[in-house]
């Protein structure tokens, strides 16, 4: 019985040719630097509004609900590093 199971499960797997892998297609430009990024208070505010208050805290330990409730205090400090 074990031999029959082995034959069946071995027939499911395919053998791929690893000698000629496909070339990946480049879908984005990685030449963008942090200096090219532009954030202002309105874009930060838009991102804050999209937060879901029912989700868990991030690695910073700040709950999304707190950020949403204090949006006016958060949007300016969050936009400063990118000015």
For residue 59, what are the CA distances in angstroms to 62, 63, 64, 76?
8, 10, 12, 21
Where on the phi/psi map is residue 61: left (φ > 0), alpha (ψ -120 to 50), or beta? left
pLDDT at 29 > cutoff 80: no
pLDDT in tens, 67-77: 999 999 988 88
Residue with the larger pLDDT of the pair 33 and 72:
72
Please provide the average confidence, as pLDDT, over all residues in the chain. Answer: 83
Judged against a pLDDT cut of 70, whether residue 82 lies above it is answered with no
Instruction: Calculate mean pLDDT across residues 2-28.
Output: 81
């Amino acid at each position: 019985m074990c031999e029959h199971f082995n034959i069946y499960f071995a027939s499911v797997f395919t053998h791929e040719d690893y000698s000629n892998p496909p070339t990946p297609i480049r879908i984005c430009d990685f030449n963008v630097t942090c200096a090219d990024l532009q954030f202002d208070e309105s874009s930060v505010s838009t991102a804050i509004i999209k937060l879901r208050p029912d989700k868990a805290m991030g690695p910073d330990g700040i709950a999304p609900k707190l950020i949403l409730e204090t949006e006016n205090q958060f949007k300016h400090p969050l936009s400063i590093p990118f000015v």
